[in-house]
Amino acid sequence: MGSLNKVILLGNLGADPEVRYTANGRAAANFNIATTEVWNDKNSGDRQERTEWHRIVCWGKTAELAKEYLKKGRTVLIEGRLQTREWEDKEGKKRWTTEVVADRVTFVGRPEGGGGGSYDRGERGSYDRGDRGDRGGGGGYDRGRAQEPRASEPRASEPRAQDSGSPSADSHDSPPPLDDDDIPF
């Protein structure tokens, strides 16, 4: 039987994304989002909550757009996969980290008067103006089709919604291996 490595998170950024560049110029963004689980205690009826922090990594154009549009406190929907990396720290100790490698980042809500938006991991892709009848407040970045907005369409500070039903053919390609100097944190 096959396997599946899929993560979907909806949470708030704990800080602005940190963006670094590999030796070959590829952008890598790191940020943490908080998700909060809320429930009522069975015995006391008191409201309980637990917050979990998730480390997110995105690459290429998605990383650059995250730097531009994501800010501390912003609500975002992340779709990606879990990945565990191993490296040696400065003292030579082996370290591991598990993070979510984002294939898609969707902005939720309206930051300071802007619209929402979403970006697929699309370092080889192009802007998708969302021409499928969905004119909602989202935005999309879709691989593969270079299109310019029509002159009659207003240009927004963030792109429009993408049809979530269209798969990205290359959405599961892996980032290149990293040297210790290229670790994105």
Q: Which residues lie below 8 Å from residue 85, measured CB to CB, with a gap of 6+?
A: 96, 97, 99, 178, 183
Instruction: Give me the torsion for CA of 23, 28, 29, 30, rounded to 10°.
Output: -90
In the chain, DSSP finds a helix count (H) and a strand count (E) of 1, 9
pLDDT for 109 equals 75
**Per residue in 88-123, pLDDT tens?**
999 999 999 999 999 999 988 766 544 445 445 443
pLDDT band, residue 1 (cuts 50/70/90): confident
Question: For 137, which DSSP code?
Answer: S
Mean pLDDT of 155-175: 39
Structure tokens at 2: 């096959």
**Residue 123, C-beta contacts closer than 8 angstroms, at least 6 positions apart:** 26, 59, 60, 61, 62
φ, ψ of residue 91 in degrees (nearest 5): -90, 0
Per residue in 118-155, pLDDT (tens digit) is: 445 443 332 332 333 333 334 443 333 333 333 333 33
In this structure, whether the domain defined by 7-36+50-164 belongs to CATH 3.40.47.10 is answered with no
Per-residue confidence (pLDDT) for residue 106, from 0 to 100: 93
Question: In a 3-state reduction of DSSP, which class is residue 159?
Answer: coil
Whether the Cβ atoms of residue 138 and residue 118 lie closer than 8 Å to each other? yes
> What pTM was computed for the model?
0.59
Q: What is the pLDDT of residue 112?
A: 54
Residue 169 pLDDT: 35
DSSP assignment letter at 139 = B
Q: pLDDT tens digits, residue range 25-82?
A: 999 999 999 999 999 999 999 999 999 999 999 999 999 999 999 999 999 999 999 9
